[in-house]
Amino acid sequence: MLGRAVRQLVHLPASILGLVIDLLVKLSSAEFHRKALPHLQKLLSGEFPICRPLRFLKPLLEQESPKRFSADATFFAKESVLKIAFLSDHFRAAFSGKEEQVTGEKPQAFSMPRTMTDSAIIADLGGVRATEISLSQVWEMLLRQPKGEEGLLLTNGVANIFYVRDAQGMMRAVRATWYDVGWHVGAAGLDFYHWRDGHHVFSSRLSDTYAPE
């Protein structure tokens, strides 16, 4: 048996041979023999599976489906959490059926220092890309002041102005004005109105070219 063991040992790689020798040295200890020998016998008989380290799996992140906004399910719904007293015919015609993906971007608010046209406002804020806002952002802002509470939106009878693309992709000047009976929401083509100083206008982002006065 000793000769057979020697023949097996000489064929082992050096790293494994070192472990075997270390095991033999420890087996000569009565304490190790008492504690480890029963477990070693079970391992050799196959009762204990060989332990392997846990394999790391990439975590399964919960991915939310992109939220969709529908004008028909919000502004034009029969029942709404907003106190909407009036929607203009132009707004209904322009935004009926409009759907879009919710971006989550927070609009910037500006107070107009003088009477301005839509074109002048857009140019002052850095162009269409810097000024354009989504209809879902307008809705989210109104939801923050559903019954005319104080906030970024004016609630003193002066219009809040947003530049939003309609269902056909055309830019519209959307206005939301609070009166005691509720929100009045309308829309018009660009430069249809001259907006007086004191109006609030909302932009999706600050342009690199915007220079506040």
- Residue that finishes a domain, picked among 11, 41, 63: 63
Domain boundary among 33, 63, 93: 63
Reading the block at residue 128, the tokens are: 């269409």
By percentage, how much of the chain surpasses pLDDT 70?
65
The whole-angstrom separation of Cα 211 and Cα 208 is 8
- Assess whether 26 and 97 both reside in one domain: no
Confidence at 44, pLDDT banded by 50, 70, 90? low
pLDDT of residue 190 exceeding 50, the answer is: yes
**What pLDDT score was predicted for residue 157?**
95
CA distance 119 to 171: 11
Tokens in use for 120?
Answer: 């002048």
**Range 49-64 average pLDDT:** 50
- Residue 176: inside a domain: yes
Q: In whole numbers, what is the pLDDT of the chain averaged over residues?
A: 81
For residue 11, is it within any domain?
A: yes
How many domains would you assign to the chain?
A: 2
Q: Are residues 79 and 45 in the same domain?
A: no
**Residue 53 pLDDT greater than 60, yes or no:** no
Q: pLDDT at position 184, please?
A: 97
Tell me whether residue 78 is in a domain.
yes
Check whether 137 has a pLDDT greater than 70: yes
Are 33 and 78 members of one domain? no
Look up residue 55 and give its DSSP letter.
Answer: P
Range of the domain at 28: 1-63
- Average pLDDT for residues 120-141, to the nearest whole number? 92
For residue range 80-128, what is the model confidence (pLDDT) as tens digits? 888 999 999 999 999 999 999 987 788 889 999 999 999 999 999 889 9
Helices 14-27 & 30-45, crossing angle to 10 degrees? 130
Alpha-carbon distance 57 to 41, whole Å? 33
- CB half-sphere exposure, 206, CA atoms < 13 A: 7
For residues 47 and 108, membership in a common domain is answered with no
Q: Which of residues 129 and 47 earns the better pLDDT score? A: 129
Residue 196 dihedral angles phi and psi, to the nearest 5°: -80, 165
Query: Same structural domain for residues 92 and 152?
Result: yes
29 and 86 share one domain: no
Q: Are residues 43 and 115 in the same domain?
A: no
Q: Does residue 205 surpass a pLDDT of 70?
A: no
Residues 131 and 49: their CA atoms lie apart, in Å, by 66
Q: Are residues 26 and 108 in the same domain?
A: no
- What is the predicted pLDDT for the residue at 210? 38
Residues across the chain:
213
165 and 112 in a single domain? The answer is yes
The confidence band for 6, taking pLDDT boundaries of 50, 70 and 90, is low
- Which of the four pLDDT bands, split at 50, 70 and 90, describes residue 78? confident
Quick one: pLDDT at residue 212?
A: 43
What's the confidence (pLDDT) of residue 202?
Answer: 92
pLDDT at residue 80, rounded to an integer: 82
Q: What are phi and psi of 4, to 5 degrees?
A: -65, -40
Going by pLDDT thresholds of 50, 70 and 90, the confidence category of residue 204 is confident
Last residue of a domain, one of 63, 92, 114: 63
- Whether the predicted pLDDT of 213 surpasses 50: no
Residue 36 has a CB neighbour count (10 Å cut-off) of: 15
Query: 100 and 186 in one domain?
Result: yes
Residue 210 lies in a domain: no
The answer on 58 and 74 residing in a single domain is: no
2 lies in a domain? Answer: yes
- Identify whether residues 118 and 171 lie together within a single domain: yes
